[in-house]
Amino acid sequence: MSKRIVIDPITRIEGHLRIDVEVEGGAVRDAWSSGQMWRGIETILKGRDPRDAWLFTQRICGVCTTVHAITSVRAVENALGIEIPLNAQLIRNIIIAAHCLHDHIVHFYQLSALDWVDVVSALKADPDKTAALAESLSAWPRNSKHEMRAVKAKLAEFVERGQLGIFANGYWGHPAMKLPPEVNLLAVAHYLQALEYQKIANQVVTLLGSKTPNIQNLAVGGVANAINLDNPATLNMDKLYKIKGLLEQAAAFVQQVYLIDLAAVAAMYADWLPYGKGVTNYLAVPDLPLDRAGKVFDLPGGTIFNGDLGAVKEIKSFDDPYFRDNVSESIARAWYDGDWDRHPWEEDTIPRYTDFDPNGKYSWVKAPRFQGKPMQVGPLAQVLVGYALGHEPIKRWADVVLETAGSLAKAKLSPAILHSTLGRHAARGIRAAVMSELALKHWQLLVENIGKGDIEIFTPWQYPRGEIRGFGFHEAPRGTLSHWVVIRDGKIANYQAVVPSTWNAGPRDGKGQKGPYEASLVGNPVADAERPLEVLRTVHSFDPCLACAIHTVDPTGRELSRVRTL
């Protein structure tokens, strides 16, 4: 007899991610991912000046602000066919890297760690043993006995006061929780330290973007960060050195704590390595451009089909037709009028809600496809593409994780294990480590370029008459993000954003091909249908960001979320 489990947070007025799984014999037999994706941006932008688009698109999502802003200016610049000054690229790159560090740290510790870490079990830990274990794994200075004792005492006090609300739905005591108490205590200590380091990374975004979460320093054609090394009101030496110091602190945390914790979790949950593979077509776009035109990059992009790393195909520039011509979106199973599969420039968005029908339409999320195929996006896609292309930093950091986890698990781990739920987490850490190096590299490049006397930050341009089309992409923390714009006589005629979570959380298409969430859940174990921790593990490994639309507080304590078994 199969059972249907529905995980459905209902905090928002409209829209969120909903996961339905059919469970039989303790494992998921079929899955449906349904969500509210932003579906009105083109209506809001039509007729506006394309120079304003980035201000609006960065409001699509409060977590992914910066990434929509950057992708939007890239799309308009692509339509105009302009290059931007090197300083502008590098300043954007440092913002991109710092935002990514902040985002990856928060994702792992504050959103996902509790899927693997049993907080209550940490109370049984011997803090001195925790410190000894931690010091054997990493040179991080904040793993001392003193630190671990203090964290345990604080946690005990919190539990005594009955304040475990924060960990509600953390499913402590669940049979799928396997870490020894000492490791759980270590993870709690790093969970608290992560609060500091994600903030440090975010300060870099504030210093360059002039504000966060919604940055103010962009312009189509460059950036608005005036450079004068001796002027306190502009980007000067003092600010630049402050940025360097912050990036170094964030890099140390990523390399000495985050990456090591990931390796330890992967090693101690080695039985989980076979789960969560799903769609093994991968898509990543190149990022961190090193030139004005966007033809040379520090992060690689490309496609892999059917897990075949040998046949990787590279995406080479901001204007690469291989990307431009092969993206489409299907609405066959989404609540829009029609059942087409169209290129983003040709799309429209006419909502037509019908009930949740697993055999028909069941989501607001469109199903993006590349050459008609579902693609997994995210750090794992970029790490695999980089690994396949022989990208040195990616290969080096991937090997660090595989070797550290392998030595703890006493097994030889190959990159093939990355096609999994744990692999997505590991890849996020690998990417964070690569980013932490590249952030400092791009800081150095910026300082050197300014040192040569180049203070250019903006390329002047004019709208041509008639119609122009452009696309911009960015490898965001959650994966490939692209914006598509059609401009007629200097006004926006169409605008579509194809966001990472639509690639991953999208529904089936006209051919019945499942999206990556859906495919990855099939075969996933479920020990207790009332507490489907294992389903959350796999969904969280994608770093979902769907409920972007609305923020409302419910102070009255109505039912806020539910897990239903049917």
Which string of b and e fits 404-417 if b means at least 16 CB within 10 Å?
bbbebbeeebebeb
Our CB check for other proteins shows the closer of 29 and 239 to be 239
Maximal C-alpha separation, the chain: 73
Which string of b and e fits 125-140 if b means at least 16 CB within 10 Å?
bbbebbbebbeebbeb
Our CB check for other proteins shows the closer of 52 and 319 to be 52
Our CB check for other proteins shows the closer of 157 and 271 to be 157
DSSP 85-129: -HHHHHHHHHHHHHHHHHHHHHIIIIIIGGGT--TGGGGG--HHH
- Of residues 16, 39, 64, 347, which has the active-site annotation? 64
Residue 173 Ramachandran class (φ > 0 left, ψ -120 to 50 alpha, else beta): left
- Of residues 333, 428, 478, 483, which has the active-site annotation? 478
**Cβ atoms of 323 and 316 closer than 8 Å:** no
Residue 530 CB, shortest distance to other proteins, in Å, is: 13
Closest CA relative to residue 265, chosen from 100, 103, 424:
424
- Of residues 18, 68, 391, 508, which has the active-site annotation? 68
Sign of CA dihedral 483, 487, 492, 494: negative
Q: Is 138 a catalytic residue?
A: no
Instruction: Count the neighbouring beta carbons within 10 Å of the beta carbon of residue 34.
Output: 26
- Of residues 33, 61, 99, 324, which has the active-site annotation? 61
Residue 322 CB, shortest distance to other proteins, in Å, is: 31
Residue 271 CB, shortest distance to other proteins, in Å, is: 23
SS (H, E, C) 506-521: CCCCCCCCCCHHHHHH
Our CB check for other proteins shows the closer of 192 and 447 to be 192
Residue 390 CB, shortest distance to other proteins, in Å, is: 33
Residue that the structure tokens 């475990």 belong to: 164
Our CB check for other proteins shows the closer of 343 and 491 to be 491
Sign of CA dihedral 109, 111, 112, 115: positive
- Of residues 14, 160, 392, 530, which has the active-site annotation? 14
Q: Is 61 a catalytic residue?
A: yes
Residue 223 CB, shortest distance to other proteins, in Å, is: 10
Beta carbons within 8 Å of 339's beta carbon, 6+ residues apart:
330, 331, 332, 510
Beta carbons within 8 Å of 456's beta carbon, 6+ residues apart:
85, 86, 87, 88, 222
Our CB check for other proteins shows the closer of 65 and 138 to be 65
- Of residues 138, 330, 442, 545, which has the active-site annotation? 545
- Of residues 72, 328, 363, 501, which has the active-site annotation? 501
Q: Is 548 a catalytic residue?
A: yes
Our CB check for other proteins shows the closer of 213 and 307 to be 213
Residue 44 CB, shortest distance to other proteins, in Å, is: 6
Amino acid at 540: H
Whether omega for the bond prior to residue 477 falls within 30 degrees of 0, making it cis, is no
Instruction: Count the neighbouring beta carbons within 10 Å of the beta carbon of residue 423.
Output: 26
Pairing of strands 27-35, 17-24: antiparallel
Distance spanning both ends of the chain, measured CA to CA: 12
Phi first, then psi, for residue 528 (nearest 5°) are -135, 110
Our CB check for other proteins shows the closer of 301 and 429 to be 429
Q: Is 100 a catalytic residue?
A: no
Query: For residue 463, what is the DSSP state?
Result: P
Our CB check for other proteins shows the closer of 68 and 324 to be 68
Residue 228 CB, shortest distance to other proteins, in Å, is: 16
Active site residues: 14, 61, 64, 68, 478, 501, 545, 548
